[in-house]
A and B are shown apart, each in its own frame.
Chain A
Amino acid sequence: MGNRNLTALGTIWIKECTRFLRIWIQTLVPPAITMSLYFVIFGSLIGSRIGQMDGFSYMEFIVPGLIMMSVITNSYANVSSSFFSAKFQRNIEELLVAPVPSWIIVLGFVGGGVARAILIGIIVTLVSLFFVDIQIHNFAVIIVTLILTSSLFATAGLINAVYAKTFDDISMVPTFVLTPLTYLGGVFYSLSLLPEFWQMVSKANPIVYMVNGFRYGFLGISDVNYLVSLGLLVGFNLVMFTIAYQLINRGVGIRS
């Protein structure tokens, strides 16, 4: 990567980070409050009645899933809203007239989404420390899963924004696709509690692999092999990045 591209990438990334930090009340505070409520209601109040899940207290069991849930929704929302706003206000043209390669544009926006997701991950983890002592089984798996998951959903958010024509279009996928898949992705329960048929169906949900890979990093338990999770994440990332690159390069939704 030449110096020019590196400078352009750094500029887009700083601009993206500055954006979500400037509006921190909208971007950083809500996940902290929402997750605190989850910890209080599902962890402390209901969780104490549920008992143990796969050998861990219910609170310990749901913490990795809840962190992952925040990471997924925030990485997606960051890029979809930022890129769509840039299209809407037409300041995407600042990038289009400059000699910035399409892959740098994709990397810059996705990098911004990953940065917000990591920051949210840290905030939610810190909040969870008020409720439970967190143990770490494999720190490298946690970090790799966190980065790959956030980059995957940030890229998906970018693709959504490329096609979006109204603000409604960028809220449809999170509402009708991401939220159901996340809630059914093993955040609140172990797949082993489901009948065999529904276990098979659940394994078609990609978020199951992300939640379980992440849980493996914390607790050392998983409904699926964590290497399969990481492999799928790498594969999904490559596919989504290629799609996003092609869309930006062809100017879909951004060039006449």
Chain B
Amino acid sequence: MKALDISGLTKTYKGGTQALKGIDLHVNEGDFFALLGPNGAGKSTTIGVISSLVNKSSGTVNVFGHSVDDDLVAAKSCIGLVPQEFNFNQFETLHQIVVNQAGYYGVPRNIAKKRAEKYLKQLDLWEKRNEPARELSGGMKRRLMIARALMHEPKMLILDEPTAGVDIEIRRSMWTFLKEINQQGITIILTTHYLEEAEMLCRNIAIIDKGIIVENTSMKALLSKLNMETFVLDLPVQSKQPSLTGFVFRNIDDHTLEVDVEKDIGLNDVFRQLTEQGVTVLSMRNKANRLEELFVRMVESGRKKQAGAA
């Protein structure tokens, strides 16, 4: 079954801004799905429509087979939303926030209290349960919103930039948590600006730009499209700049070399030529995140197509 099935979705805001121009999006049950796009691409509008915070202009949205037009209660019950902005009452305690959220979904208070303990403990917030939410750090607030979204035990969790502004340690612990709940069967849809995050977590991906889906495929298939990578090689300080035959390369300074390598050629020849010149390679890294390169390329090609069509 499709966890999410969107067809021909459009949204035009009152001022005339067309945020979505007829998007189709399909997410399988149990998937870990990334929805990527530049700022203002339509990601949050899409999430808003799925979660009933934004009224769509046209198109259909089905959540686990429940139409948001005809069976909204069932559709809403399947979704847990972690929005981009902090949207809880800053004066309420963490415990009140999560227990109340469960209550809105019809979860009886005694069960809600047990779940509050479970999720606040899992997200390392239990010690803070009686403190007002405004006293939490940014990372804790993000985790609180995840705990709140899980209180009615949804089948699908939608996270809109959940790790924005969070330090790397907490971000990694959140990744571990999200992987765990995904393995337990919860479908996850994630928007993020950290492309490393999407590459690490997600199996399938859609790229949206200016209200149009420009790519919708598996992460593996997308990364296989990358046929050229740029590597940065750190060298000891060189009196004579190294040279490579058959490669596009740049000597950035007297100890840094950049090389463009085609995927099917490989790096062996680079190392062989450097060894022959007596150059030691101290370390090596990708110049940019692989997905980042593809993302920029996809968005640019989508824009060219749109400009051509216009």
Residues of A within 8 A of B (CB): 2-5, 7-8, 10-12, 14-15, 18, 22, 85-86, 89-91, 93-100, 251, 255-256
> Judging by beta carbons under 8 Å apart, are B106 and A93 in contact?
no
The listed residue (A8, A12, A95) touching B106 by CB distance below 8 A is A8
A-B CB pair tally, cutoff 8 Å: 82
23 contacts between A and B (CB under 8 A): A7-B107, A8-B106, A10-B103, A11-B103, A11-B104, A11-B109, A12-B104, A14-B100, A15-B92, A15-B100, A85-B89, A91-B87, A91-B89, A93-B83, A94-B104, A97-B52, A98-B76, A99-B76, A99-B77, A99-B104, A255-B53, A255-B54, A256-B53
The listed residue (A85, A90, A93, A99) touching B105 by CB distance below 8 A is A99
> Judging by beta carbons under 8 Å apart, are B88 and A99 in contact?
no
Q: How far is the CA of A98 from the CA of B52 in the complex (A)?
A: 9
> Judging by beta carbons under 8 Å apart, are B54 and A256 in contact?
yes
Shortest A15–chain B CB gap in Å is 5
Shortest A89–chain B CB gap in Å is 6
> Judging by beta carbons under 8 Å apart, are A8 and B101 in contact?
no
Shortest A247–chain B CB gap in Å is 14
B65-124 interface (Cβ within 8 A of A): 72-74, 76-77, 79, 81, 83, 85, 87-92, 96, 100-101, 103-109
Q: Beyond the given A94-B104, A99-B106, could you list 4 further A-B residue pairs with CB under 8 A, ordered by the A residue number?
A: A97-B52, A98-B104, A99-B76, A256-B48
Shortest A153–chain B CB gap in Å is 24
Assess whether B271 is interfacial by the CB under 8 Å rule: no
Shortest B184–chain A CB gap in Å is 22
Q: How far is the CA of A89 from the CA of B83 in the complex (A)?
A: 13
Q: How far is the CA of A5 from the CA of B51 in the complex (A)?
A: 19
> Judging by beta carbons under 8 Å apart, are B87 and A89 in contact?
yes
Residue of B nearest to A7 (CB): B106
Assess whether B13 is interfacial by the CB under 8 Å rule: yes
Residue numbers in A under 8 Å from B88 (CB-CB): 89, 91, 94
A94-B101, A97-B52 given; A4·B106 CB < 8 A? yes
> Judging by beta carbons under 8 Å apart, are A96 and B52 in contact?
yes
- Chain B 251-266 interface mask (CB, 8 Å, partner A; 1/0): 0000000000000000
> Judging by beta carbons under 8 Å apart, are B79 and A97 in contact?
yes
A11-B103, A255-B55 given; A86·B76 CB < 8 A? no
Residue numbers in A under 8 Å from B106 (CB-CB): 2-5, 7-8, 99
A8-B106, A97-B51 given; A90·B100 CB < 8 A? no
> Judging by beta carbons under 8 Å apart, are A94 and B53 in contact?
no
Shortest A164–chain B CB gap in Å is 18
Residue of A nearest to B79 (CB): A97
Residues of B within 8 A of A (CB): 13, 48, 51-55, 72-74, 76-77, 79, 81, 83, 85, 87-92, 96, 100-101, 103-109, 148, 152
Residue numbers in A under 8 Å from B13 (CB-CB): 256
> Judging by beta carbons under 8 Å apart, are A97 and B81 in contact?
yes
Q: How far is the CA of A30 from the CA of B183 in the complex (A)?
A: 55
Shortest A56–chain B CB gap in Å is 44
Shortest A138–chain B CB gap in Å is 38
Q: How far is the CA of A220 from the CA of B53 in the complex (A)?
A: 51
Shortest B180–chain A CB gap in Å is 23
The listed residue (A7, A99, A256) touching B72 by CB distance below 8 A is A99
> Judging by beta carbons under 8 Å apart, are A96 and B105 in contact?
no
A7-B107, A7-B108 given; A99·B73 CB < 8 A? yes
Q: How far is the CA of A90 from the CA of B48 in the complex (A)?
A: 13
Counting from the closest, the 4 A-B pairs by CB-CB distance are A11-B103, A4-B106, A98-B104, A90-B87
A93-B87, A99-B77 given; A256·B55 CB < 8 A? yes
Q: How far is the CA of A5 from the CA of B77 in the complex (A)?
A: 13
The listed residue (A2, A3, A11) touching B100 by CB distance below 8 A is A11
> Judging by beta carbons under 8 Å apart, are B91 and A97 in contact?
no
Residue of A nearest to B83 (CB): A93
Residue numbers in A under 8 Å from B100 (CB-CB): 11, 14-15, 94
Q: How far is the CA of A110 from the CA of B85 in the complex (A)?
A: 28
Residue of A nearest to B87 (CB): A90
Q: How far is the CA of A85 from the CA of B76 in the complex (A)?
A: 24
Residue numbers in B under 8 Å from A255 (CB-CB): 52-55
> Judging by beta carbons under 8 Å apart, are B104 and A93 in contact?
no
A8-B104, A98-B101 given; A93·B53 CB < 8 A? yes
Residue numbers in B under 8 Å from A89 (CB-CB): 87-90
